[in-house]
Structure 1
C-alpha cells in the first residue's frame, strides 16, 4: 500500500477552503509573501513509523503543518481574534471528520502516539513583510502503510 498523500492533503485543504475564513488556501508552504487577508497553507511535515503496527505492516504518524497567516497591516487588536476564529474552525472540522472521509485511522487529537493536535502562534518575516502566524500541528494516523517482507 502507498501513502495517499494527495488524497489526505486534499482533504485537509478542503476543510480550510470550506471554512470561509481564508482568501486563499495553498497545498504547499509558500515561498513568497501571499498578500493581504488570511492565507492558509498546508504541507506534510513529518512521517514516523508507529509501534502499534501489525505483525507484518507498518502504520505511520503523518504530521501536517496547517499555517494561518495574516500580514501585520490590519489593526493589531483585530489580527489575533480573526486568526483564532479561523484556527478554531479548522480544529473543530478536523475533530468532526477525524478519519478525513475514511482516508485515515484517525486524527490523533489527544496525542496517543506522541503529537497531539496543537496550535502555536508566532511571527514570520517573508519578502520584507511581517506576518502573524498560527500553526496547527495536525497528527494523522495511517494504518498498514508499508509491508514488512523477509
Structure 2
C-alpha cells in the first residue's frame, strides 16, 4: 500500500473550499502573497511512523498545515481575528466531524494520541513585502497499515 497523499490532501482542501470562507484555497504552501480577503493553503508537514503499527505493516501520522491568511492592514482591524477565528472554528468542526476524512484515514488525531494533537496557532508572516495575519491549523491524521514490513 502507498500513501494516498493526493486523495487525503484533496479531502482536507475540499473542507476548506466547502466552508465558503475563502476567496482562494491552495493545495500548497504559497510562495507569493495571497489575494485579498481570506485565503487558505494546505500542505503536508511531516510523516512519521507510530507505535500503533501492526506486526507486518507500519501505521503513520501524516501532519498537515492548514494556514489561513488575511492582510494585517485590513479594516476594521478589530474584525481581523474574529474573521480568522470563525473560519478556524468551522474548519476544526469539519475536520473533527469527518473524523476519518471520508474513509481515507483511520482518524484525525485530535488529542495527539500518536504525537502532535490538533492545534491552532496565530501569528504574522511577511510575504512579497506585505505582512499577513495568519492562523495555522496543525492537522494530524493517522493512516493505518501503510508500509509493509518485510524481514
TM-score bracket, normalised by the shorter chain, equals over 0.9
Partner of 1:15: 15
TM-score after normalising by structure 2: 0.98
Q: Is the 8 A contact 2:119 2:138 kept in 1?
A: yes
Question: C-alpha offsets along residues 113-143 of structure 1, whole Å, 9 cap, x if unaligned?
Answer: 1111100000000011000000000000000
Checking the alignment, whether the CA contact within 8 Å between 2:24 and 2:35 is kept in structure 1 is no
How many Å apart are 1:35 and its aligned residue?
1.8
Q: Structure 2: which 5+ residue stretches go unaligned?
A: none
Q: Within 2, Cα distance between the matches of 1:95 and 1:126?
A: 30
2:34 equivalent in structure 1? 34
SS of the equivalent of 1:125 reads strand
Looking at structure 2, the residues matched to 77 and 130 of structure 1 have their Cα atoms a distance apart, in angstroms, of 16
Shift of 1:72: 1.4
Alignment partner, residue 87 of structure 2: 86
Deviations 1:1-27 (A, max 9, x none): 000000000000000000010000000
Q: Spell out the pairing of 1:56-135 with structure 2 (5 A cutoff).
A: 56-74=56-74, 75-135=76-136
Per-residue CA deviations over 1:10-68 (Å, capped at 9, x if unaligned) read: 00000000001000000000000012110000000000001110001000000000000
> Number of residue pairs matched?
150
Q: TM-score, normalised by structure 1?
A: 0.99
Partner Cα distance (1:147, 1:57) in 2: 4
- Deviation digits for residues 83-114 of structure 1, max 9, x if unmatched? 00000000000010010000000000111111
Q: Which runs of 5+ in 1 are unaligned?
A: none
2:21 is the alignment partner of 1:2? no
SS at match of 1:134: strand
